[in-house]
Amino acid sequence: DADVTQTPRNRITKTGKRIMLECSQTKGHDRMYWYRQDPGLGLRLIYYSFDVKDINKGEISDGYSVSRQAQAKFSLSLESAIPNQTALYFCATSDFVASVGTGELFFGEGSRLTVL
Amino acid sequence: RKEVEQDPGPFNVPEGATVAFNCTYSNSASQSFFWYRQDCRKEPKLLMSVYSSGNEDGRFTAQLNRASQYISLLIRDSKLSDSATYLCVVNGRSWYNQGGKLIFGQGTELSVKP
């Protein structure tokens, strides 16, 4: 089984619908992240969490919300999906490394979302 | 100007060739640098971390030039299996102080041909 699991892997929805992407991890890491990837734009950080009680906005948080239900679970919600939120979404986890800050990022396999 | 910039390529090279990618960053306070590899829309995976003046791992060499604010990735003796997108990743002095801003470049596509 994968260390970082995302569900669903693929989803097609309509404008205005509420969508939740879920992420669970067995790495035992405190830090979890949500990124989106668009062609030509690389990965952009949406939200991140350093522990269960810590939630922070990333570069592009508008239109998204998150919930850290437990150390191992971090979900991303689109309250009212719009077509420009069509993208590949990645969840990631990491440890904290004192010398460099964040350690290696471990990504889930991605959730491909299409908003019609 | 983007905070982290890469030449998107694609770089098309024959097997056995040596290829180099550059990545520039705009935040002079950046302290940590990484190269990730991403295969065909799969998840990115860490290829190398780049510390101080650079490091080598087999056919791969990463260099850091703080004065010019760029890092490079050199791949020697290219293999077909090296075909992928290579992502440059930079973060600030402190993950906390920078508010969690780990910046990815847009990636450089490499295609190694027989």
Q: How far is CA A97 from CA A102, A104, B10, B99, in A?
A: 6, 9, 34, 16
pLDDT tens-digit profile of A4-50?
Answer: 999 999 999 999 999 999 999 999 998 999 999 998 788 999 999 98
> Identity (one letter) of the amino acid at A104?
E
* Set of chain B residues whose Cβ sits within 8 Å of the Cβ of A43: 44, 87, 104
| Per-residue pLDDT tens digits for A45-90 | 999 998 899 998 988 999 999 999 999 999 999 999 999 999 999 9
Q: In the block, which residue shows the tokens 């990743």? A: B89
Which residues are within 8 A (CB) of A85 and not within 5 positions of it... i.e. 6 or more apart? A36, A63, A78, A113, A115
Residue of A nearest to B42 (CA): A109
Q: Which residues of chain B have pLDDT under 50?
A: 93, 95, 97-100
Are residues A43 and B42, on separate chains, in Cβ contact within 8 Å?
no
